[in-house]
């Protein structure tokens, strides 16, 4: 077996509307409603499914909870533009820009938190 890529991940959140607003308005993801009114956030070739804490769908992680995720998103936009846009939207950069190592090599990253406190790394490959 050879795995090619992620398709989706699941975030357990306290408030689906607040989460949708953050990822839509700050990060430009598109909300999608599917199968029985479930909500996801679509971007590129991937999506983030949202589970409301205490009302998760089975099967689920052994210990799901708001604020337990730490993940990296890649952008083609210059990182200086990303930082400026985050600032304009009132989203503080917690760390960065800093050099890191991504799945395909060196990246430059900034870290922010979503409404649940999940750590969201926003990165660019190349000169960023």
**Which of the following is catalytic: 56, 85, 94, 121?**
121
Q: Enter the DSSP assignment of 6.
A: -
Tokens of 34: 């599917």
- Is 121 annotated in the active site? yes
- Number of Cβ atoms within 10 Å of the Cβ of 73: 16
H or E stretch including 111? Answer: strand 105-113
Q: Enter the DSSP assignment of 77.
A: S
The pair phi, psi for residue 57, each rounded to 5°, is -95, 145
Active-site residue set = 121
């Amino acid at each position: 077996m050879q795995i090619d890529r992620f398709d989706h991940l699941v975030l357990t959140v306290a408030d689906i509307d607040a989460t949708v607003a953050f990822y839509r308005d700050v990060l430009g993801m598109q909300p999608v409603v599917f199968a029985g009114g479930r909500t996801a956030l679509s971007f590129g070739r991937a999506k983030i499914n949202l589970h409301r804490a205490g009302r998760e769908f089975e099967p689920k992680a052994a210990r799901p909870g708001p604020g337990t995720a730490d993940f990296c998103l890649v952008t083609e936009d210059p990182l200086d533009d990303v930082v400026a846009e985050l600032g304009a939207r009132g989203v503080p950069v917690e760390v960065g820009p800093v050099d890191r190592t991504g799945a395909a090599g060196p990246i430059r990253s900034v870290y922010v938190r979503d409404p649940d406190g999940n750590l969201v790394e926003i990165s660019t490959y190349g000169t960023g």
